[in-house]
Structure 1
Amino acid sequence: MTGLAGSGIVLASNSGSRKAMLEAAGVAFTAQAAEVDERALEAEMDGAEPAEIAQALAAAKAAAVSAEQPGALVLGSDSLVEVDGRRFDKPTSRDNAAAHLRFFSGKVMTLHSAAALARGGQIVWVDSDFARLRVRELSDAFIESYLDAEWPAVSYCVGVFRIEGPGVQLFEAIMGDQFTVLGMPLLPVLDALRGEGALPS
C-alpha cells in the first residue's frame, strides 16, 4: 500500500475500519492477522480494568506478529465495550447480537480502544483511549431490521456496530474521539510511529 510511511509497518489485524484509518492518513503498511487466544487472555485478567485488558490484547497481537516478522514495526489494536459494569465481546451468533443490543438499549456504552507497537517481539509502546456512546431506546422491530441489514458484518465488531455505516443509528449522543470510536486511537498511534522513525516528523 502506498503512503507517507516507509516500508516495514505491519498492522496485526484484518479489521476493515483500522485499515481504512491508516490508508486515509497516508500510512503505508501491510496487514497480517494475529493468532491470539483473546478469551484466554481476558480470563487470566479477570477483574482488571477494561482499559488494561484492551491494552494487553493489543500488545499480545503486536507481539505475536512481531515474533514472526522481527524486522518490522508491528501495530496491534483492540477494543472492548463496557455497559453497566459488564464487559462485552464480539457476538457469537445473531441471537447473541440481538441480546447484546437489547441490553445496550437506553444505556451508555463505554468503548475502550487500545494500540501497541512491537519490534523484534518486544513491546515498545502502548496506549488507549475511551469514548462514551449513549444508545437510544431500541425497539425489537428495529433490532431485527438492523441485523437483517448488518449481520454477519457486525459479528466482527465489539458493540455490534459499524459507526461508519448503519450502526450510527443506534446512538443519540457520542462523547469522544471519532478514531477511538472507529476502533483505534489514531492520533497517539501516528505520534508513536513518528517517534519510532516509521513516519516523517
Structure 2
Amino acid sequence: MTPVALILASSSRFRQAQLANLNLPFESVSPDADERSFEQETPAQTALRLAILKAETVAKTHTNHLIIGSDQVAFCQNTQLGKPMSLDKAAATLRFTSGQDMDFYTAVVLLNTVTGRLQQHVDHTRVTMRALSDATIARYLECEPDAIYCAGGAKSEGLGQTLIESITTTDPNALIGLPMLKLIGFFINEGIVLP
C-alpha cells in the first residue's frame, strides 16, 4: 500500500493528546462543518453523521490521506447536551445532570481518501453522576475551567471524575473523545503497523 498521511479532523486538544499516545505522525485540521443536530435524529445518529461530515469536509482539500472524524453527543433526561462553552452554561448543565444517568455517544470514522473506504463506529458510554451541590459545581469549574469544552460539562479524565459515581463502557477512551480501541482496529485494517 502507498503510504498515506494521517489527519485528525478536529481542533480538540483532548483528541489530539489521545492520538499522540500512539506515536504515529499526524496533522490536525479543523473541519469547517455545521455541527447542528437534526430534530429527527437519535444522539447516536447525530454523532455518526457529524463524524462523517468532519472527515468528508477535510477530504475535500486533502487527498491521499487517512482522515479521522469524531463527534460526541451527551444525552440526559431526553435532552441532547452539547459543549457548554461558558462557565454559566457549564454550571447549569452540571445542575441539570446532578444525580442523573447520562449517555455519551462517541462516533469515530476513518476515511481513506485513496480507496474511498469509510470505517465507522459509535461507542455508547453510560455515566451516573453524583448528586452535586452548587458549591461543589462552583469549586469544580474554578479548578477545571476548560470543562466548558467537554460535552456535558465534566472532564472525566481530570477532576470531573470526582463528580461521577460510575461509568459503564467498553472503551474508557471514548468518554474523552476518541474510541481508541476501535480506531486502532481501523488502523490495522488499513495496514498501519503499530508497536
Q: Which structure 2 residues correspond to residues 174-185 of structure 1 after superposition, within 5 A?
A: 174-176=167-169, 177-185=171-179
Residue from 50, 53, 60 that aligns with 1:67: 60
User: Normalising by structure 1, what TM-score?
Assistant: 0.88
Q: Which residue of 2 aligns with 1:3?
A: none
Change (3 A) 1:91 1:144: same
**Identity between Structure 1 and Structure 2 (%):** 34
- The 1-side partners of 2:7 and 2:164 are apart by 33
CA RMSD of aligned residues (A): 1.8
Q: Which residue of 2 aligns with 1:147?
A: 141
Q: Do 2:4 and 2:64's aligned partners in 1 also have CA atoms closer than 8 Å?
A: no
Q: Which residue of 1 aligns with 2:84?
A: 91
Per-residue CA deviation, residues 138-172 of structure 1 (Å, 9 max, x unaligned), is: 00001111111222x12211111221211111101
Is structure 2 residue 21 aligned with structure 1 residue 24?
Answer: yes
- The 3-state SS of whatever aligns with 2:127 is strand
Per-residue CA deviation, residues 104-139 of structure 1 (Å, 9 max, x unaligned), is: 000011111101122339561211111111100000
- The 3-state SS of whatever aligns with 1:68 is coil
Q: Do 2:4 and 2:66's aligned partners in 1 also have CA atoms closer than 8 Å?
A: no
Q: Do 1:63 and 1:123's aligned partners in 2 also have CA atoms closer than 8 Å?
A: no
Q: Which has the higher helix share?
A: 1
- The 1-side partners of 2:52 and 2:59 are apart by 10
Structure 2 gaps, min length 5: none
- The 2-side partners of 1:131 and 1:105 are apart by 17
Is structure 2 residue 91 aligned with structure 1 residue 101?
Answer: no
- The 1-side partners of 2:4 and 2:139 are apart by 43
Q: Do 2:52 and 2:109's aligned partners in 1 also have CA atoms closer than 8 Å?
A: yes
Per-residue CA deviation, residues 33-76 of structure 1 (Å, 9 max, x unaligned), is: 1111102xx1xx31211111100010011111111101111101
Q: Which structure 2 residues correspond to residues 176-195 of structure 1 after superposition, within 5 A?
A: 176=169, 177-195=171-189
- The 2-side partners of 1:123 and 1:15 are apart by 24
Change (3 A) 1:123 1:65: farther
Q: Do 2:31 and 2:57's aligned partners in 1 also have CA atoms closer than 8 Å?
A: yes
Q: Do 1:79 and 1:183's aligned partners in 2 also have CA atoms closer than 8 Å?
A: yes
User: Normalising by structure 2, what TM-score?
Assistant: 0.91
1:29 to partner: Cα distance: 1.1
